[in-house]
Amino acid sequence: MQCQSVDILIIPTSDPHLSEYLPDHWRSREWFSGFTGSAGTLVVGHDRASLWVDSRYWSQAARQLEGTGIDMCKVEGGSNIPYVEWITGNFPEGSVVGIDGYLISLNQGRLLKNALETKKFVFKTDTDPVSLVWKDRPRIPLKPVFEHKSEFVGLSRLEKIDQVRSEMKIRRADWYFVSTLDDIAWTLNLRGSDIEFNPVFVSYLLIGHETVFLMVDCEKIPADLVRILEEDGVHIKPYETAADCLRQLPSGASLLYDPRRTAYAMAEVVGAGVRKIESINPTVLFKSRKSPKEIEHIRKTMLEDGAAFCEFQAWFDAQSGIGNNDRISELTISEKIEVLRSVRTHYVSPSFGTIAGFNANAALPHYQATEEAFSFIDGDGLLLIDTGGQYLSGTTDMTRVIPVGFPSQEQKRDFTVVLKGLIALSESRFPRSIPAPMLDSIARKPLWSFGLDYGHGTGHGVGYFLNVHEGPQGISYHANPESQTAMEEGMVTSIEPGLYREGKWGIRLENLVVNQVADDEEAGKFLRFETLTQCPIDTRCIDKSLLTQEEISWLNRYHEKVRENLLPLVADYARDWLIKRTEPV
């Protein structure tokens, strides 16, 4: 920092593509701090440092930072730059605040620059002390890129490019620049494995009206795939030429890019003579609306995934029963689910690291058991499992809570209140194009009536054999209800209310749903949710006295459908278990 004239260094959890999950090469915040959560910002001064995390990670960060000298600071609400006040309150005016401009979006960079310069601080983005210090830094991944088979995709590569070009014409753009990896993978019907759990590959994309340039390490693309791409007008350029491609756009040309999804430093290289059109990536909207063909594939994938999880639960109930001396740990659970999922049709990998938390561990929403720290499933309590899979035919994500021994009456009450929230939102009908954040209170109302709440959002978009977290829709009152978050037909979203008793237990129930036109409403004006996830909700945890007759009817209809759909797919040893767990309440 001294060599680069920086007084305060901001190290975000980010890469040049602003990904949620990162290749090892860009996990610098984790490498420096030792905090392993998937989100957080490290701020380093010459004599003090702080790590800023939201409520999902308060307990984890406090534990992992103990003894490091780094202060854990809580992010509350939806602030993008909560650490500015800490910086301006602990350092003198005129101090230089540095950040690698390739690791922050253009929008965030502008906010940060304005906030700091208003307080008379200097904002510097051409700095990267991390690379000088991290000597054994992993290289950028070189895993091969492959085609997403035509039998699974809704539109061909050329059809998607034409769709994008039509939008470019509407916005009067000559060029369209894409940095987000899932948008690139979707547009070109390509997939990779550069980021664990996310089938994407490190690259940039520049689309013109006559040609397309894919900036990617040439070693990643097999020769036969290069030939196919060239035939479709997609030309390969080296990954490191992306900035030069933008720098060389001629004066008078117009460039479309998304200021929330383009790095500050990358946008800065565009020449002053280029007309800049800043708008949400058209591909974000296109890929969020799954085609009827894709939705049908997703339905079948949910059956495969649900059957695998039912087989796991049948195994777990048998193993944890009276007289069995084999101890089951949280690590065992993750391993067993992966084994059962791996034999399912079109399965590729987990869609995220399975969260298996027993009792107090489940009170940490993003808890991850490790070889160094995990629990055995012993005694009475609740086991929370949040798990998902990547299939060629879709991406899954579900959460269930399983009773171990005899759950207490308070645990049953908490479980039932969360279930009421899940049912309330699942049953809702809502105006087409309503901003997704406005639906959040429907799921929270049953909890609020008991004076309860949870710190995370209620739902996120889900990709199609892509990222398990996908925009633009997100059901959370912390998010701004902007027009780009509108709920439209074909969107796949999670519904996952929760409740967490620190040091005791945690409960979260999660289903994936897809937006469908409400048949009995005036055509096209209202949408409803079709529940995609097929897996029993454990009725042993329910306090029936807290459910209305309408809620009981919803649960019984859901279980009847689950039983009908999954009985032909589960192994023989799970059939009796499935029948028992789907009996009417």
Q: Do domains 8-133 and 289-581 have the same CATH topology?
A: no
3-state secondary structure of 6: coil
The label of the residue with tokens 């004239």 reads 5
Cα–chain-centroid distance for residue 189?
20
Which phi and psi (to 5°) does residue 70 adopt? -90, 130
User: How many residues does this entry show for the chain?
Assistant: 585
Per-residue confidence (pLDDT) for residue 524, from 0 to 100: 62
Q: What is the spatial distance between Cα 479 and Cα 107, in angstroms, rounded to a whole number?
A: 16
Per-residue confidence (pLDDT) for residue 536, from 0 to 100: 98
Per-residue confidence (pLDDT) for residue 77, from 0 to 100: 67
- Position 392, amino acid: L
- Total Cβ atoms within 10 A of residue 166: 10
- Total Cβ atoms within 10 A of residue 340: 20
Annotated domain spans of the chain: 8-133, 146-286, 289-581
Sign of the CA dihedral running 293, 296, 298, 304: negative
Per-residue pLDDT tens listing for the chain (585 residues): 999 999 999 999 999 999 999 999 999 999 999 999 889 999 999 999 999 998 878 888 998 999 999 999 998 866 678 899 999 999 999 999 999 999 999 999 999 999 999 999 999 999 998 889 999 999 999 999 999 999 999 999 999 999 999 999 999 999 999 999 999 999 999 999 999 999 999 999 999 999 999 999 999 999 999 999 999 999 999 999 999 999 999 999 999 999 999 999 999 999 999 999 999 999 999 999 999 999 999 999 999 999 999 999 999 999 876 555 578 999 999 999 999 999 999 999 999 999 999 999 999 888 888 888 899 998 899 999 999 999 999 999 999 999 999 999 999 999 999 999 999 999 999 999 999 999 999 999 999 999 999 989 999 999 999 999 999 999 999 888 899 999 999 999 999 999 999 999 999 999 999 999 997 656 568 999 999 999 999 999 999 999 999 999 999 999 999 999 999 999 999 999 999 999 999
Q: What CATH class has 146-286?
A: alpha beta
Q: Cα-atom radius of gyration of the chain, to the nearest Å?
A: 24
Q: Does domain 289-581 have CATH number 1.10.287.4070?
A: no
CB 305 within 8 A of CB 341: yes
* Superfamily, domain 8-133: Creatinase/prolidase N-terminal domain (3.40.350.10)
- Total Cβ atoms within 10 A of residue 447: 20
Per-residue confidence (pLDDT) for residue 321, from 0 to 100: 60
Q: What is the spatial distance between Cα 451 and Cα 209, in angstroms, rounded to a whole number?
A: 56
Those residues with Cβ within 8 angstroms of residue 583's Cβ, 6 or more apart along the chain or in another chain: 539, 559
pTM to 2 decimal places: 0.94
- Total Cβ atoms within 10 A of residue 524: 10
Q: What is the spatial distance between Cα 260 and Cα 282, in angstroms, rounded to a whole number?
A: 13
Q: What is the spatial distance between Cα 37 and Cα 366, in angstroms, rounded to a whole number?
A: 8
**Bridge-partner residues for 507, per DSSP?**
499
Per-residue confidence (pLDDT) for residue 403, from 0 to 100: 96
Per-residue confidence (pLDDT) for residue 153, from 0 to 100: 95
Per-residue confidence (pLDDT) for residue 57, from 0 to 100: 85
Q: What is the spatial distance between Cα 40 and Cα 67, in angstroms, rounded to a whole number?
A: 18
Angstrom CA distances, 98 to 259, 530, 566, stand at 20, 47, 55
